Every structure is written in C-alpha cells, then in structure tokens.
Structure 1
Amino acid sequence: MMEYSVIIPAAGQGKRMKAGKNKQFLTIEGQPLIVHTVAIFANDPVCKQIVVVASPSDLADMEDLLDKWRLKSDKVTIALGGAERQDSVYSGLKKLATPTTVILVHDGARPFVTRKDIYKLTETAYENGAAVLGVPVKDTIKTVSDGMIQQTLDRNTLWAIQTPQAFHYDMLVKAYEEANNTSFYGTDDASLVERLGSRIHITEGSYDNIKITTPEDIPVAKAILNKRKEEQKNEDRTWI
C-alpha cells in the first residue's frame, strides 16, 4: 500500500452544532468525535504522519484528550489553527516533518471513512497527482435566487465531495502558497488545486462518510457506529 501523511483540521467553532464548545470534543457512543477520526489513521501502519490542527484555545484540551485515549505518538503532531479552515490546513502543511509523496486532508468531523476508501484514494492520487472522495448526489438539485428556482441541474453530473482529499505534496504546497499570496479562499482544498489548472480525479466513497455538522447528525452517527459493530460481529462469527 502507498504510504501517506494526513492533515486533520479540527479548529473550527462548530456553531451549527449549537453545543457551546468545539464539536470535536462531543462524544459519540462514549468516545470524542476527534478520537474516532484520529484513531482511523493512528491505527493504520501505512499512515506515516498525522497533523491535528487545533485552535489556540483548545490546544491544551486536545493534547490531554489524545494522551488520555493513547493516540499521542511519534507520528502525531498538533499544529495551531488559523481564522479559517484554509489557514488551519496551511498551518498543518507547514508542520509536516518529512512529507510523503501523497498528503491527505481530512475533516476532523468525518469519523467514518474506511481504510479501503483511503487506500483507493491514495493510489489514485499517487498515479494522477490529485484525487478526492465523493458520492453521486441522490436528490434533484436546483439553483435558487430570491426564493425562486432558476435552473434544474443534471443530477448525473453532480457529486457530493467528501474528505479525505489527496494530493502530491509539491502540488498542494504550490496551491496553498498561490492562494495565500493572492488572498484567495476556496471552499475546499481541491478548489485551490483547481486554480493551478490541475486535473482532479474523483474516487467513489461511501454515503456513510458523513460530516458531523448539526445536532441532527448525531443520531445518524450512532446508527452508523451500531451498524458497523453488528457487521463486525457477523464477520467474527464466520471464523468460529
């Protein structure tokens, strides 16, 4: 399998969660959200370096949390986040000690990406320079202005983009430096790379790879966890 490093931005305020604190510290089935996410990569021997990006006000709590859950190791580093997600990723990018060829950027609030999808994504990015996870949209999508529908888009060409997003290290650095120099802020990492004229491949992921954003996402997250536990039990039984 292709080695990779990952940057995990976890410095956002999470205002839509209405939790009164960083949503990364909310627990899902007894385990903090950020712990679920970091553990995916910490337990993967192919992952060579993890940079968790935390806000300055959360730094001590983040360090204590990773220590408590035994996730602090030589390959886990904490970087200070910035005002926007893009600033935080750039901070994490500069914190990489010995970068691998492929760098992943993964939302701290996406705790359900599978190792299988990570490997597919990493291989695609290694071969082509850049790749993102995504899934075809299920709903009809329309553009709306002033409360009126303007256009119905062709659903067959629309994908919901997820993370991780994967890039060659040099490409990602160049994209972030260019964005920083021109004060451009994109909606995701891929949008910065797109500005360089680079082609980005899509790797189909899973609809389970949700981002925990609002209170309504918590019961969905619990359902996904319980489903996976049941699948694991059934798999274990096949070996008895």
Structure 2
Amino acid sequence: MVAIGVVILAAGIGKRMNSTTPKQFLELLKKPILIHSLEVFEQHPLISQISVVTNEASYNHVEHLIQKYHLKKVKRIVMGGKERQNSVYAGVTATPTEWVLVHDAVRAFVTADEITTLIQAVNENQPAATLAVPVKDTIKRVNEFGIVEETLNRKELWIIQTPQMFDRELLLGAHQRAESQDVLATDDAMLVEMLGDSVKVVRGEYTNIKITTPDDIFLGEAILAKRRKGSVQTT
C-alpha cells in the first residue's frame, strides 16, 4: 500500500472568531479543536504520518498538545507562511509521502468514513479529489449595485470542504506554478485545476463544518454530543 500523509493547517489566527485565542485552540467538549481534527487521522488505518503547520507564536503550544494527547503519527511541526497557500506548500514539502491530504484544523468533524471514501476516489488516473456537498439554497449572481444578474443552476454547485487529496508531486508542481505566476487561490484544488488536471468531487457530510464564528462553536458541540450519544447507544 502506498504511503499517505496528512498536512493539518493550524497557523491561522481566526479574526472572525473575536477571540484572543486562535480558533484551532478553542475547546469543544473540553478538548481543543485541533486535537479533535488530529485524532481522526491518528486513528485512521490508512494514514501513515501527519505534519502540523503552525506559526512561531503557537509552535510550543502545538508541541505540548501533541505530547499531551499522545499523537504518534505526528512526525513534524512545520512553520507556516503569510498566506494559507504558503503554509500548504511548506507542509506538503515537509511530508515525504506519495499521496497527501490537506486539511483545515478547524474542520474538526470529518469522519473516518469520509476520509476512506476520499482515499478510494484517487488513483493514477484521478490524482486529485476533494470532499464537497451539494448546495441546498438558490444561488444568485449579483452585481455591484445589488441587482440580480443571474440565477445559477443549483444542480451544478457544490460547497467544497477539506480534506482534499492529491498526488504529492502534482500538488507541489501546482503550487510552484502558482507562485511563479503570482496566483493566490482559495484552495489547493483550484491550483491543480489551473494545470489542466481534473479534480474528483467526493460527496461528504453537511456536518463537516468549518469553525469560523462563535456560533459555529455551539453547532460543533451539538454535532459532537450527538455522535457521542449515538456511539453510547450502539455499544
């Protein structure tokens, strides 16, 4: 079996959270959000190693948490860059596996089943894939004056999530080309698309939310509490 590594992005400061604590270190049910994310990959049998990307101010704290929660698959802590894209490149460069998953630390609710499904979707002929969910609402394109210009076809629209999975060399090449052209993308799949390669969309779960605002903390705790309750009932 080929080696699969994971890059966890935990270098953000979370301005929209209105907290002096970076959101990846806020707690859900008395455990840091970062640890919730890491433990899913730590316990997944197909994942061989993990790299955590952070910043200088948080480096020691990340190191402490990894030791405290006995995360054996975390092989390195990597210093991130100014932008998310720079942090991804640093993390992927430091992760010497044939395949790599890129995941936001604040998406603490991805499940082992979703990760497995994503891994099964990639191969030599399909070297990139991302979790996503179909848009539920009607989406309209609006001009600068607040006037609707077009109602988009909801059947063609998906909300992109992480993790995203790539052939490592393909992803590195996509990042290098973007840097040479001074392109800043919103996600790594976009960089691969710009190379002309296709990205497979793998249906995920709507519960794989990204913690961004204070309201997300309450929703996140509800998701975890429901899962724990279900686990107890089925044991």
Matched, 1:118 2:115: yes
Q: How big is the shift at 1:74?
A: 5.5
For 1:102 and 1:125, locate their aligned partners in 2 and report how far apart those are by CA, in whole Å.
9
Structure 2 unpaired stretches of 5+: none
1:37 and 1:112 in contact (8 A); partners too: yes
Q: Which amino acid aligns with 1:223?
A: A
Q: 1:132 to 1:148 in 2, by over 3 A?
A: same
Contact 1:126–1:167, Cα closer than 8 Å, also in 2: no
Whether contact under 8 Å (2:48, 2:73) holds in the other structure is: no
Q: Distance in 2 between matches of 1:74 and 1:137?
A: 35
Q: How does 1:174-193 map to 2 (within 5 A)?
A: 174-193=173-192
Shift of the alpha carbon at 1:36?
0.4
Q: Which 10-residue stretch deviates more, 103-112 or 139-148?
A: 139-148
The equivalent residue for 1:6 is: 6
Cα offset, 1:21, TM superposition: 2.1
Please name the residue that 1:65 is paired with: 65
| Structural mapping, 1:1-240, within 5 Å | 3-71=3-71, 73=72, 75-96=74-95, 98-99=96-97, 101-127=98-124, 128-145=126-143, 146-236=145-235
Maintained 8 Å contact 1:2/1:122: no
For the residue of structure 1 that corresponds to 2:19, the secondary structure is coil
In 2, the alpha carbon distance for the partners of 1:208 and 1:57 equals 30
> Percent identity of the aligned residues?
42
Number of aligned positions between the proteins: 233
Take 1:106 and 1:60, find their aligned partners in 2: how far apart are those partners? 21
Contact kept, 8 Å, 1:102 with 1:126, in 2: the verdict is: no
- How far, CA to CA, are the matches of 1:192 and 1:102 in structure 2? 16
User: Would the aligned equivalents of 1:79 and 1:92 in 2 still touch at CA under 8 Å?
Assistant: yes
Q: Deviation per CA, 1:82-124: give whole Å up to 9, x if none.
A: 101000000101111x31x321001100011111111111111
Shift of 1:69: 1.8
Distance 2:3 2:195 in 1: 25
Give the structure-2-normalised TM-score: 0.95
Where has structure 1 moved over 3 Å in runs of 4 or more?
Answer: none
Please state how far the C-alpha of 1:76 moved relative to its aligned partner. Answer: 2.8
Q: CA RMSD in A?
A: 1.3
| CA apart distance, 1:3 | 4.5
Deviation by residue 1:116-174 (Cα, 9 ceiling, x = unmatched):
11111111122511111000011111112222222111101100000010111111111
Distance 1:192 1:140, change over 3 A: same
Kindly indicate whether the alpha-carbon contact (under 8 Å) linking 1:10 and 1:53 is maintained by their aligned counterparts in 2.
yes
Segments of 5+ residues of structure 1 without an aligned counterpart are none
**For 1:164, what is the secondary structure of its paired residue?**
strand
Contact 1:112 1:210 in 2 (8 A): yes
State the alpha-carbon separation in 1 of the partners of residues 68 and 147 from structure 2: 51
Partners of 1:3 and 1:90 in 2: how far apart? Answer: 19
What per-residue deviation string (whole Å, max 9, x for no partner) do you get for residues 150-207 of structure 1?
A: 2111101100000010111111111011112222110100000001000111100000
SS, match of residue 70 in structure 2: coil
